[in-house]
Structure 1
Amino acid sequence: MGIIVEVCVQDCIFEDQDYKTPVGSDGALEPLPVSCPVSETVWNKWFQKWLEVMEPDLSPIQAYELSLRLTGDREIQTLNAQYRHQDQPTDVLAFAALEDNSPQNDEVHNSQPLYLGDIIISVETAQRQANIQNHSLRVELSWLATHGLLHLLGWDHADEESLSQMLTKQEFLLNTVGLLSENR
């Protein structure tokens, strides 16, 4: 039996009444995405594939859960200020549940999916970055999702060497689901 992944996707971008149309790198207004260009089904398939190829050995039953929240700059700025003490929007935040050292009941640990944590992505920032990188919002969102996933699994980029390794792994993960990140 392979890895089992459950992803809870919350597309909250349009809950923010103050959502503004993103400005492209040329200063022109970009149209708002009608909805996220990635369906919940596709997100589930991608995370399933990414965890299969990474083969984490964290869950005895090889079952994982995570939460993906797609939001805007205002909400991510609030979270960034609260948790990272940086009062500005960012592209992606990851809150790893595995960093919490609370004891787990062995029976639960051996019978339930392991909760990896939460990934929050600003679709506004992702759209701006996609415009600058000259690729689609779909590619940028997947790039940011892989970055968040690696953080949930314990990866970090404290120096140039670890950042380079992380970026290489992200490109590998994108390639496994047929998304090339050639413009990065």
Structure 2
Amino acid sequence: MSVQVEVNIQNCFWDESELENPENDSSKDNIMESSPVTIDCPLNVTEWENWFQIWLNHLHPYLPTASSYELSLRLTNDTEIQTLNTEYRSQNQPTDVLAFAALEVNCPLPAELLSSQSLYLGDIVISVETAHHQAQQQGHSLKTELGWLATHGLLHLLGWDHPDDESLTQMLNQQRVLLETIELTV
């Protein structure tokens, strides 16, 4: 059975000056020349949808039964993600990824509803600015870092968490497996 997924992608805008050394940025070709500058991620909507489709097919055993799935992905900057991190997690600092799950673990939905309607999993917010810096630090592409962060957010939407070292290790291992399904490695 193939899982159907719809991904709502939103991009945020910021000044090129907010990136350190933009002239050394390997994704410089993806910067649109307008004001404000759009830092475009190296993936288009179709590619994101394909990735999430592959990941959700792989994670099928962890999914509630539904005819299809939806999620939102917001690609933003450090300023906006810091605002969200402060508001929702009381941490006044930028972060790389936030996930806002729409499903409650102990709140089952009626089977008739799940089989006839698309199930909204929640929202993933990624700071492309932080992803850019982390990709440089890790020595891999922005595309790989965005995939890594998107898998982390997706697992959170599905109820995965990492309150201790053992669960963090399990989650990181699952992220690696998900990246391998789209032929990326960290």
Do they superpose with TM above 0.5?
A: yes
Matched, 1:160 2:165: yes
Matched, 1:73 2:70: no
Q: Secondary structure at the match of 2:54?
A: helix
Deviation, 1:161, is: 0.7
Pick from 88, 94, 102 the counterpart of residue 83 of structure 1: 88
Structure-2 residue corresponding to 1:96: 101
Deviation, 1:143, is: 0.3
Give the letter aligned to residue 75 of structure 1.
E
TM-score norm. by structure 2 comes to 0.85
Deviation, 1:180, is: 1.2
TM-score norm. by structure 1 comes to 0.86
Residue segments in structure 2 that go unaligned for 5+ positions in a row? 32-39
**Percent identity between the two aligned chains:** 58
Deviation, 1:84, is: 0.1
Once residues 50 and 136 of structure 2 are traced to their aligned partners in structure 1, the CA distance between those partners, rounded to angstroms, is: 26
Specify whether residues 171 and 71 from structure 1 end up closer, same or farther in structure 2 by C-alpha distance, changes over 3 A only: same
Give the letter aligned to residue 168 of structure 2.
L
Q: RMSD of the alignment, in Å?
A: 2.1
Deviation, 1:105, is: 6.2
Structure-1 residue corresponding to 2:183: 178
Task: Report runs of 4+ in structure 1 exceeding 2 Å deviation.
Answer: 18-24, 28-33, 56-62, 99-110
Specify whether residues 166 and 60 from structure 1 end up closer, same or farther in structure 2 by C-alpha distance, changes over 3 A only: closer
Residue segments in structure 1 that go unaligned for 5+ positions in a row? none
Number of aligned positions between the proteins: 175
Once residues 62 and 163 of structure 2 are traced to their aligned partners in structure 1, the CA distance between those partners, rounded to angstroms, is: 24
Matched, 1:2 2:7: no
